[in-house]
Amino acid sequence: MAQVYAARRDRLRERCTAGGSATALVSRPANVRYLAGAAPEGAVLLLGRGEDLLVCADSPAQPGPQSERGRPDEALRVQLLPAIGGDPAVAAADVATAQGAESLAVEEHHLTVARHRAIRSVAPRLRLADLGGAVEQLRVVKDEEEISCLRIGAEIADQALSELLESILVGRTERHLALELERRLVDHGADGPAFETSVATGPNAGRRGHRPTDRRVEEGDFLSVCLGATYRGYRCEIGRTFVIGTSPTDWQIELYDLVFAAQRAGREALMPGVAYRDVDRAARQVLDSAGYANSLPSLTGHGVGLEIDEDPQLAPAAMGKLDACVPVTVEPGVHLPGRGGVRIDDTLVVRPEADGGPELLTITTKELLAL
Amino acid sequence: MAQVYAARRDRLRERCTAGGSATALVSRPANVRYLAGAAPEGAVLLLGRGEDLLVCADSPAQPGPQSERGRPDEALRVQLLPAIGGDPAVAAADVATAQGAESLAVEEHHLTVARHRAIRSVAPRLRLADLGGAVEQLRVVKDEEEISCLRIGAEIADQALSELLESILVGRTERHLALELERRLVDHGADGPAFETSVATGPNAGRRGHRPTDRRVEEGDFLSVCLGATYRGYRCEIGRTFVIGTSPTDWQIELYDLVFAAQRAGREALMPGVAYRDVDRAARQVLDSAGYANSLPSLTGHGVGLEIDEDPQLAPAAMGKLDACVPVTVEPGVHLPGRGGVRIDDTLVVRPEADGGPELLTITTKELLAL
């Protein structure tokens, strides 16, 4: 693994050198973890002219499960801050100056104005440049090791969901179902939930990002569930909608079939070289043409990895094209105020047609189940 | 309640005017909630020359339990962003310019460099100043309504903990115990856990911020637990250490008594007018003089409220003095690598001696229980 991290840092170094700043300071936690193998709280990575350096706050150790926290690349020098309450970013800028750096590229989309100013005051001669989303861009295409973590996470989420479906649901609250799902994720080996588990019943069903309430499941409800597991830091996502009771009504079947068709269109559009916006359009136009243009969320899907919401965005105004080995969600939905709705959400990996097309990681059935 | 929020905004306005910037942009979520009653994701508050304005991203509604999300002050104008993916802070700066503002105080410790630059480019004539921690300072002293939310949260945490102690513990993992505690918090009416519940057994016991692992509780272990409930947005904290089995060993009793004495010294030092560092010193010197100077965390306690870690810090280098109606934790601990340790943590409200001295919110016994 050490070689993987070193290779990632080398790729970033090339970009930085090409951008005119040989030295970079990475502060966004997921980016630090990607390049260093772990991101202890507050740690920053200095990609230096000399040797690379992970600077950590000298805070009390918080050694959770290794799988969850990651383990720092052993080839990397680790420096602990001597001063309590000091800022590792400031200490790293100090080291950069000592190494003779003239400019330092920082993550302006992550560093606060106050920290930026603190760096400038400790290293006034250092020219501060913007690293922009360079690390986020490197993270878009995953290697097979990363994909295998996502695959295991998806299996765990599938398992937790299938167990829930075997239990009695009527009368239980959204909150309890969400907590039970999270417990099952951990039971099956997840580091933890990949994001706050969403359970939405009745009029809440189909709402993206719905936070569980005390509403209880009732006969006749739509029930939509969205959950994900974190496994070795990698986060996946699955969403399904069910009907409670024996026979879904006509409007429920119709709406479900429509969202299913939109989601399938989105999945089928996932090919290397396809524009992000075209995937979005494939799913969106199915719902649009059925008259739901105003009920649609702003995106159809997004990348996943060390964070649950990564590049790319599959949205109308997104720029760029899919590559092979990019994991994304496809998650269209329709929510009708007062009535509820449907969301169907999978995590897939973009693969060339020669390899069989998109690889579905979340394999729970998408038939409309009546529970 | 509307009057409460308006009064808070007026107090901030006075400070801003005194600081030379009549217009302020509040972006840190807990600060937005404090002044506006709610902090929808990404929302910012413009404290203007004209009417105050809550600017929200036009994202899909995420209406969780009202208790959890808060409800915006009805006296406040709410503006939804028309453009998907737009930044409410930039939109607010635009409004400030339209209102004729010449300068705008922003939260430089929260805004990123990139957002600050975006504001500057949309409003190039606006002089950007630093609001600093002005809202955080207003938040330090709580009103009785806020304290009553903390009191209810503490009752919930006490209840969840007492139920756990009645169950069988040996053989269960740290992770499972933590998940069960979180479920019980919600059962008893919490919005959710106030922070990641910590359960630490055997050699992990006594470690501040320990993340639960798969280690199982064994006979003879120290078991330390730290949890808290969020109630109407307010977060409290309780930590206790127990011994598993019938008879604690001598070193366990000794260490427990020592940490208990330190924690009591810290609690007894909580009086209006006492310096933060003197509370820290009261607890710390008990442990120091027993030879544990090097095993101690960097602080003895901290404020709680809308965030779990607020001002003040009770730490050696902290500047300032306690006021009445400031809720703080007192949480000294000792961790011995390889052996485990003890932490005892309460949430209390500083009260004048005439009112009976510090009010203990977390009332679970601090006797050394053998479970």
Q: For residue range B162-188, list pLDDT tens digits in order.
A: 999 999 899 999 988 998 999 899 989
**What is the signed CA dihedral for B310, B311, B317, B320, rounded to 10 degrees?**
-170
C-alpha–C-alpha distance, residues A355 and A246, integer Å:
40
Nearest residue on chain A to B211, alpha-carbon basis: A64
Cα separation of the two ends of chain B:
45
Chain A to chain B, count of Cβ pairs less than 8 Å apart? 103
C-alpha–C-alpha distance, residues B299 and B281, integer Å:
10
Residues of A in contact with B209 (CB under 8 A): 60, 62
A117 touches chain B (CB under 8 A): yes
**CATH code assigned to B141-360:** 3.90.230.10
C-alpha–C-alpha distance, residues A368 and B205, integer Å:
48
Tell me, what's the pLDDT at A59? 52
Nearest residue on chain A to B177, alpha-carbon basis: A183
- A298:B111 CB<8 A: no
DSSP B143: P
Tell me, what's the pLDDT at A65? 43
Q: Where are the domains of chain A?
A: 2-139, 141-360
Residue type, B76: L
Q: Which two tokens stand for residue A261?
A: 């068709």
> How far, in whole angstroms, is CA A139 from its chain's centroid?
11
Tell me, what's the pLDDT at A58? 61
Nearest-5° Cα angle at A154, A152 to A157: 115
Does the pLDDT value for residue A218 go beyond 90?
A: yes
Tell me, what's the pLDDT at A302? 97
DSSP B370: B
How many Cα atoms are found within 13 Å in the side-chain-facing hemisphere of A319?
1
C-alpha–C-alpha distance, residues A318 and A276, integer Å:
6
Higher pLDDT, B20 or A39: A39
Tell me, what's the pLDDT at A268? 97
Tell me, what's the pLDDT at A73? 86
Tell me, what's the pLDDT at B62? 45
Region A254-273: mean pLDDT is 97
The burial class, CB within 10 Å (0-12 / 13-18 / 19+), for B84 is middle
Strand partners, A38: A70
Strand B222-227 with B198-201, pairing: antiparallel
Tell me, what's the pLDDT at B83? 66
> What tens digit of pLDDT does each residue of A101-157 get?
999 999 999 999 999 999 999 999 999 999 999 999 999 999 999 999 999 999 999
Tell me, what's the pLDDT at A69? 65
Return the closest-CA partner of residue B263 out of B241, B230, B291, B294.
B241
Tell me, what's the pLDDT at A61? 45
- B60:A106 CB<8 A: no
Tell me, what's the pLDDT at A21? 81
> What tens digit of pLDDT does each residue of B307-332 get?
999 999 999 999 999 999 999 999 99
CB B206 within 8 A of CB B278: no
A124 touches chain B (CB under 8 A): no
C-alpha–C-alpha distance, residues B46 and B55, integer Å:
8
Which value does ipTM take for this structure?
0.81
Region A245-269: mean pLDDT is 95
Does the pLDDT value for residue A367 go beyond 60?
A: yes
Q: Which of A113, A128, A300, A336 to mutate to test the interface with B (most CBs of B within 10 A)?
A: A113
Residues near A17 by beta carbon (within 8 Å), at least 6 away in sequence: none
Region B136-147: mean pLDDT is 97
Question: Given the structure tokens 């089995």, which residue do they identify?
Answer: B245
CB B43 within 8 A of CB B34: no
CB B96 within 8 A of CB B46: yes
Residues near B309 by beta carbon (within 8 Å), at least 6 away in sequence: B302, B303
Does the pLDDT value for residue B64 go beyond 60?
A: no
C-alpha–C-alpha distance, residues B22 and B103, integer Å:
7
Tell me, what's the pLDDT at B269? 97
Residue type, A65: P
Phi/psi of residue A352, nearest 5 degrees? -65, 155
C-alpha–C-alpha distance, residues A362 and A238, integer Å:
6
Residues of A in contact with B177 (CB under 8 A): none
Tell me, what's the pLDDT at B16? 87
Per-residue 3-state assignment (H helix, E strand, C coil) for chain A: CHHHHHHHHHHHHHHHHHCCCCEEEECCHHHHHHHHCECCCCCEEEECCCCCEEEECCCCCCCCCHHHHECCCCCCEEEECCCCCCCHHHHHHHHHHHCCCCEEEECCCCCEHHHHHHHHHHCCCCEEEECCCHHHHHHHCCCHHHHHHHHHHHHHHHHHHHHHHHCCCCCCEHHHHHHHHHHHHHHCCCCEECCCCEEEEHHHCCCCCCCCCCCECCCCCEEEEEECEEECCEECCEEEEEECCCCCCHHHHHHHHHHHHHHHHHHHCCCCCCEHHHHHHHHHHHHHHHHHHHHCCCCCEEECCCCCCEEEEECCCCCCECCCCCEEEECCEEEECCCEEEECEEEEECCCHHHCCCEECCCCCCCCCEC
C-alpha–C-alpha distance, residues B76 and B104, integer Å:
19
Q: Which two tokens stand for residue B166?
A: 């009645």
- B110:A112 CB<8 A: yes
How many Cα atoms are found within 13 Å in the side-chain-facing hemisphere of B199?
21
Does the pLDDT value for residue A64 go beyond 60?
A: no
Helix axes A29-36, A2-18, angle to 10 degrees: 120
Region A82-101: mean pLDDT is 86
Question: Given the structure tokens 């919110």, which residue do they identify?
Answer: B361
- pLDDT grade, residue A60 (50/70/90)? very low
Other CB atoms within 10 A of residue B308 CB: 19
- pLDDT grade, residue B61 (50/70/90)? very low
- pLDDT grade, residue B80 (50/70/90)? confident
Please give the CATH topology (third level) of the domain spanning B2-139: Creatine Amidinohydrolase; Chain A, domain 1 (3.40.350)
Nearest-5° Cα angle at A216, A215 to A221: 100
CB A223 within 8 A of CB A217: yes
Residues near B64 by beta carbon (within 8 Å), at least 6 away in sequence: A210, A211, A212, A213
Picking from A84, A117, A315, the nearest residue to B298 by CB comes out as: A84
Tell me, what's the pLDDT at A296? 77
- pLDDT grade, residue B24 (50/70/90)? very high
Does the pLDDT value for residue A18 go beyond 90?
A: no
Tell me, what's the pLDDT at A84? 63
Percent of chain B topping pLDDT 90: 77
SS3 B337: coil
Residues near B168 by beta carbon (within 8 Å), at least 6 away in sequence: none
Question: Given the structure tokens 């990651």, which residue do they identify?
Answer: A70
A351 touches chain B (CB under 8 A): no
Nearest residue on chain A to B212, alpha-carbon basis: A64
A182 touches chain B (CB under 8 A): yes
Q: Which two tokens stand for residue B308?
A: 């779990």
Average pLDDT, chain B: 92
Region B231-247: mean pLDDT is 94
Q: Which two tokens stand for residue B180?
A: 């069960």
C-alpha–C-alpha distance, residues B109 and B116, integer Å:
11
Does the pLDDT value for residue A310 go beyond 70?
A: yes
Picking from A179, A210, A298, the nearest residue to B186 by CB comes out as: A179
Q: What is the least distance, in Å, from the CA of B319 to any CA of chain A?
A: 14
Of A185-199, A214-228, A290-304, the poorest mean pLDDT is in A290-304
Q: Which two tokens stand for residue B182?
A: 């979180």
Tell me, what's the pLDDT at B296? 77
- A109:B110 CB<8 A: no
Of A20-24, A49-53, A62-66, A265-269, the poorest mean pLDDT is in A62-66
Q: Which two tokens stand for residue A147?
A: 């994909």
- Per-residue exposure over B224-255, b if at least 16 CB sit within 10 Å of its own CB, e if not: bbbbbbbbbbbbbbbbbbbbbeeebeeebeeb
B106 touches chain A (CB under 8 A): yes
Specify the long-range contacts of residues A41-44, CB closer than 8 Å, at least 24 apart.
A42/A87, A42/A88, A43/A88, A44/A88, A44/A89, A44/A92
Phi/psi of residue B94, nearest 5 degrees? -60, -45
B64 touches chain A (CB under 8 A): yes
Residues near B234 by beta carbon (within 8 Å), at least 6 away in sequence: B146, B149, B150, B153, B304, B305, B306
Region B79-94: mean pLDDT is 84
Q: What is the least distance, in Å, from the CA of B165 to any CA of chain A?
A: 20
Region B39-43: mean pLDDT is 88
From residue A157, alpha-carbon distances to A151, A183, A339, B251 in Å are 10, 11, 27, 44
Does the pLDDT value for residue B66 go beyond 60?
A: no
- Structural Rg of chain A based on CA atoms: 23
